[in-house]
C-alpha cells in the first residue's frame, strides 16, 4: 500500500514537473540584495518620511519575497517526496522567526522600563497580540495609525507585518497542499491564486476612504494579502527548481529587462509616493507587488546580470540580516527619540539608532538565530557546552566584543534619550491605544505655575441649549469624555486620521440622517489636508440657521498656521460662525497634552471643552 502511494506521488510529481531532473533549490544571492534594499527603504522611512516618502513600500517587497520563497520551498519538497511535511515546515518557521523576536521583545521592553517608563504601557499592551501573531488585527481594533505620527513611534508597531506573514505561513501550506492534490493543471492553480490576490486588491480599493486614515486597509490581512499571493503565484509559475541555466532555452535578456524595469518602478515610487496618495490604494500597491515579482524573477536567474548586481557582497550581508535589522530598528529609534518629538525631529538620534540596529542584528544572527535555526534550542545549547577548548577562547572573545559593542550602543542611545528630555517636564498622562489619554501612576502633578494660570474660557457661563453635533479627528476622540460632560446629549462623530476635507461630506451625511444638531462643532485640521474651500462648504451644507464653532488646531507641523488662518477668515465672513481658539488655549500648557504633544490629556480635554463652550456662548441661542 505504501509503495503504491509512493508510486502515485512520484507520478504526480513527474507529470507536474516533466523537465526538472532534480529538486534542489539553488541559492539566489540576488534575493538577499533585494531584501537589503527593502529593509533600507523601511528604515529610512521610519527615520524621516521626508527622505523617502514611499519607503514603507519596502514592506510589500518583503511580502512578495516571502510568498515566493515559502511557496518555492513547499513546491521543492513536493517535487522531492510527493508530499509536504507540514509539522516540519511549521517547526522550521518557529526556529527561524521566534528566537530573534523574543530577544527583541525582552530587551526593548526592559530598556523601556528603565529609560522610557512612560512608553511602556503602549508596548506591553501589544505583547499578547505580537505573541499570538494577531498584532495587525489588534492595531485595527484599537484604531492605531501607522501613518499619523506626532511623537515617538510605538516600540512594536512594525510587528504587524510579522503577524500577517505568520497567518500566511499557517494557512497557505494547507491551501497549496489542497491545490496540488486536487488540481492537476498548474495553469488552473496559478489562476486560482491570482483570483485570490485580485479579491484582496478589490477589498483594499473598496474599503479605502480617501479622507480617513488608511491604516485599516494597510493593516488588514484581507486587504493586504495580495503581495504574498502574487509571490506564491510566481513560484507556481516559475519555481527555482525549473530554472533553465542555458541561455538558448530561456530569454534571459527579456527577463533581465523586466527586472530592471520593475526595480525602476520601485525606486521611483519609493521616492515620490506618500501614504496619502489616493491612487496608491486602488492600484498602487498592486503595481508595487507586480514590479517586485518582475525583480524577483530576474534576481533568481543564475546567469542574469541583475542577479549579479543585486548579489554583491555588501547587499548580501545586509539582506541575510534584514530580518533582525527590521526587528531591532523601530524599538531603538523609538527609545532614542526625545519626548514630544518624532524621529524626523531628532534625525541624528534616529540615525544612530538605525546603525545600532544593524550591529545588534548581526550579533543576534551570529549568536541566536543561526545556532537555533540549525540545531534547535537544545542542540544549540549542547553544542556551546561541548565546544572544543581551542575554539572556546576565540568564541568567547568574539562574543565579549559583540556584547560590549551592543551594550555601548544601547547605553549611549539611552543616555542621549534621557539627556534630551526637557528639564522640569513631567507630563502627567500617557496616550492609550485608542488615542485617548489615561492617568500615569508614576507621573508627577501639574506644576503650580500651570495650575495658577487663568483659564482662557469663562467656564461659569451657561452652555446654550439645543442639540449639539461635533465632527472631529483624533484630538476630539481624546476630548470625547469632557465634551459629553460639558454638552449632555452631544452627538460626536470623531475618527482617527480624519481630514478637514472630509467635513462637508460628513455634514451632508448627518443632515440626510436628520442627525445634525442646532449647533455644529468642527474640530479638524490636525492631519493637514483641507482649508478654506472645505470650511466654506461646511457652512453652506449646514445652512444659515445653524450655530457653527470652528476649533483651531494645535499641531507642531507646517500646516498648523495655514489651517488656523483659514478658520479665522471663514468665521469672519459669517455671523453664525465663531472660532474656538484651542491653539491659543493650549499653547503655553504643554503639561496638559499627552506624550506626543498634540492630543489632550483628561485635564487638557476639559480645557478643550471649556474653550468650545466659551466660544459658543458668544453666539445667540435663537435660530
d(CA 402, CA 366): 10
- DSSP conformational letter for 441: T
> CB count, 10 Å around CB of 414?
17
- DSSP conformational letter for 500: G
- Catalytic choice (474, 501, 591, 601): 474
d(CA 76, CA 24): 7
Give me the pLDDT at residue 284, please. 94
**Res. 295: pLDDT tops 90:** yes
pLDDT digits over 144-185, tens only?
888 876 778 899 999 999 999 999 999 999 999 999 888 878
d(CA 311, CA 34): 8
> How deeply is 385 buried, as exposed, middle or buried, from its count of CB atoms within 10 A (0-12, 13-18, 19+)?
exposed
Least confident interval from 35-49, 294-308, 320-334, 387-401: 387-401
**Res. 12: pLDDT tops 50:** no
d(CA 133, CA 101): 11
Q: Which residues of 79-88 are buried (b: 16+ CB within 10 A; e: fewer)?
A: beebebeeee
pLDDT, mean of residues 133-151: 86
Active site (annotated) includes residue 474: yes
**φ, ψ (nearest 5 deg) of residue 549:** -115, 120
Q: How far is CA 594 from CA 88, 120, 589, in A?
A: 47, 14, 11
Give me the pLDDT at residue 209, please. 83
What is the set of domains in the chain, with CATH numbers? Answer: 25-140+157-419 (no CATH), 452-616 (3.40.50.1110)
Give me the pLDDT at residue 458, please. 41
> CB count, 10 Å around CB of 395?
13
Segments of 11-137 assigned E as strands: none
569 neighbors 534 (Cβ within 8 angstroms): no
Give me the pLDDT at residue 378, please. 55
d(CA 544, CA 576): 7
- CB within 8 Å of 611: residues ≥ 6 apart: 456, 457, 551, 580, 581, 582, 585
d(CA 602, CA 449): 19
- DSSP helix/strand/coil, 550: strand
pTM recorded for the entire structure: 0.75
pLDDT, mean of residues 71-93: 89
pLDDT, mean of residues 45-67: 95
Give me the pLDDT at residue 202, please. 96
pLDDT digits over 387-424, tens only?
444 445 544 444 444 444 444 444 444 444 444 444 33
DSSP 61-87: HHHHHHHHHHHHHHHHHHHHHSS--HH
**φ, ψ (nearest 5 deg) of residue 497:** 75, 5
- Catalytic choice (211, 215, 599, 601): 599
9: cell is 506521488
pLDDT, mean of residues 472-500: 89
pLDDT digits over 422-446, tens only?
433 333 333 333 333 333 333 333 3
- Catalytic choice (143, 440, 473, 596): 596
Kindly state the helix (H) or strand (E) to which residue 520 belongs, with its residue range.
Answer: strand 519-523
576 neighbors 544 (Cβ within 8 angstroms): yes
Active site (annotated) includes residue 596: yes
- DSSP helix/strand/coil, 310: helix
For the ranges 43-52, 78-87, 399-408, the maximum mean pLDDT occurs at 43-52
d(CA 258, CA 239): 18
Share of the chain above pLDDT 90, in %: 49
Give me the pLDDT at residue 249, please. 55
> CB count, 10 Å around CB of 4?
8
**Res. 541: pLDDT tops 60:** yes
Share of the chain above pLDDT 70, in %: 79
pLDDT, mean of residues 445-461: 38
Instruction: Give the pLDDT band of residue 4 (cuts 50, 70, 90).
Output: very low
Q: Work out the mean pLDDT of the chain and round it to a whole number.
A: 81
Give me the pLDDT at residue 251, please. 73
Q: What does the radius of gyration of the chain's CA atoms come to, in whole angstroms?
A: 28
Q: How far is CA 326 from CA 40, 368, 471, in A?
A: 9, 16, 38
Give me the pLDDT at residue 6, please. 43
Active site (annotated) includes residue 398: no
Least confident interval from 281-290, 304-313, 436-445: 436-445
Amino acid at each position: 500500500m505504501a509503495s503504491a502511494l509512493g508510486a502515485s506521488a512520484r507520478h504526480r510529481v513527474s507529470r507536474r514537473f516533466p523537465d526538472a531532473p532534480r529538486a534542489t533549490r539553488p541559492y539566489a544571492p540576488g534575493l538577499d540584495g533585494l531584501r537589503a534594499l527593502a529593509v533600507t527603504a523601511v528604515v529610512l522611512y521610519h527615520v524621516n518620511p521626508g527622505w523617502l516618502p514611499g519607503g514603507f513600500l519596502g514592506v510589500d517587497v518583503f511580502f512578495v519575497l516571502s510568498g515566493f520563497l515559502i511557496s518555492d520551498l513547499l513546491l521543492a519538497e513536493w517535487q522531492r517526496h510527493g508530499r509536504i511535511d507540514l509539522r516540519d515546515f511549521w517547526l522550521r518557521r518557529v526556529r527561524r522567526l521566534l528566537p530573534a523576536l523574543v530577544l527583541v521583545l525582552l530587551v526593548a521592553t526592559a530598556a523601556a522600563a528603565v529609560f522610557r517608563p512612560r512608553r511602556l504601557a503602549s508596548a506591553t499592551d501589544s505583547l499578547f497580540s505580537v505573541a499570538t501573531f494577531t498584532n495587525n488585527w489588534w492595531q485595527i481594533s484599537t484604531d492605531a495609525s501607522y501613518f499619523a505620527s506626532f511623537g515617538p513611534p510605538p516600540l512594536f508597531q512594525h510587528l504587524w507585518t510579522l503577524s500577517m506573514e505568520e497567518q500566511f505561513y499557517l494557512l497557505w501550506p494547507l491551501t497549496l497542499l489542497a491545490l496540488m492534490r486536487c488540481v492537476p493543471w498548474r495553469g488552473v492553480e496559478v489562476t486560482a491564486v491570482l483570483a485570490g490576490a485580485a479579491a484582496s486588491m478589490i477589498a483594499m480599493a473598496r474599503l479605502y476612504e480617501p479622507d480617513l486614515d488608511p491604516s485599516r486597509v494597510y493593516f488588514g490581512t484581507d486587504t493586504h494579502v495580495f503581495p504574498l499571493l502574487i509571490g506564491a503565484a510566481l513560484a507556481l509559475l516559475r519555481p527555482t527548481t525549473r530554472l533553465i541555466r542555458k541561455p538558448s532555452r530561456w530569454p534571459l535578456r527579456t527577463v533581465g529587462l523586466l527586472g530592471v524595469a520593475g526595480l525602476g518602478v520601485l525606486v521611483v515610487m519609493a521616492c515620490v509616493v506618500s501614504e496619502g496618495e489616493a491612487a496608491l490604494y486602488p492600484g498602487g500597491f498592486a503595481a508595487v507587488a507586480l514590479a517586485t515579482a518582475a525583480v524577483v524573477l530576474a534576481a533568481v536567474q543564475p546567469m542574469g546580470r541583475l542577479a549579479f548586481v543585486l548579489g554583491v557582497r555588501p547587499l548580501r550581508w545586509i539582506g541575510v540580516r534584514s530580518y533582525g535589522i527590521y526587528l531591532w530598528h523601530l524599538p531603538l529609534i523609538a527609545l532614542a527619540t526625545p519626548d514630544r518629538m518624532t524621529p524626523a525631529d531628532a534625525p541624528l538620534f534616529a540615525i544612530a539608532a538605525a546603525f545600532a540596529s544593524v550591529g545588534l542584528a548581526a550579533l543576534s544572527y551570529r549568536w541566536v538565530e543561526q545556532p537555533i535555526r540549525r540545531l534547535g534550542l537544545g542542540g544549540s545549547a549542547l553544542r556551546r557546552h561541548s565546544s572544543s577548548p581551542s575554539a572556546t577562547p576565540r568564541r568567547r572573545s568574539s562574543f565579549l566584543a559583540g556584547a560590549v559593542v551592543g551594550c555601548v550602543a544601547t547605553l549611549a542611545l539611552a543616555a542621549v534619550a534621557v539627556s534630551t528630555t526637557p528639564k522640569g517636564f513631567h507630563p502627567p498622562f500617557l496616550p492609550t491605544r485608542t488615542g485617548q489619554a489615561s492617568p500615569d501612576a508614576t507621573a508627577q502633578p501639574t506644576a503650580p505655575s500651570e495650575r495658577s494660570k487663568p483659564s482662557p474660557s469663562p467656564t461659569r457661563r451657561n452652555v446654550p441649549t439645543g442639540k449639539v453635533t461635533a465632527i472631529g479627528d483624533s484630538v476630539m476622540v481624546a476630548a470625547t469624555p469632557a465634551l459629553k460632560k460639558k454638552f449632555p446629549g452631544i452627538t460626536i462623530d470623531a475618527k482617527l486620521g480624519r481630514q478637514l476635507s472630509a467635513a462637508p461630506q460628513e455634514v451632508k451625511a448627518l443632515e440626510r440622517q436628520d442627525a445634525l444638531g442646532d449647533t455644529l462643532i468642527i474640530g479638524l485640521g490636525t492631519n493637514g489636508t483641507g482649508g478654506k474651500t472645505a470650511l466654506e462648504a461646511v457652512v453652506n451644507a449646514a445652512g444659515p440657521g445653524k450655530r457653527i464653532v470652528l476649533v483651531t488646531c494645535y499641531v507642531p507641523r507646517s500646516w498648523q498656521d495655514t489651517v488656523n488662518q483659514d478658520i479665522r477668515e471663514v468665521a469672519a465672513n459669517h455671523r453664525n460662525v465663531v472660532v474656538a481658539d484651542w491653539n491659543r488655549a493650549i499653547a503655553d500648557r504643554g503639561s496638559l497634552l499627552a506624550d506626543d504633544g498634540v492630543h489632550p490629556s483628561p485635564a487638557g480635554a476639559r480645557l478643550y471643552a471649556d474653550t468650545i463652550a466659551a466660544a459658543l456662548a458668544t453666539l445667540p441661542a435663537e435660530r
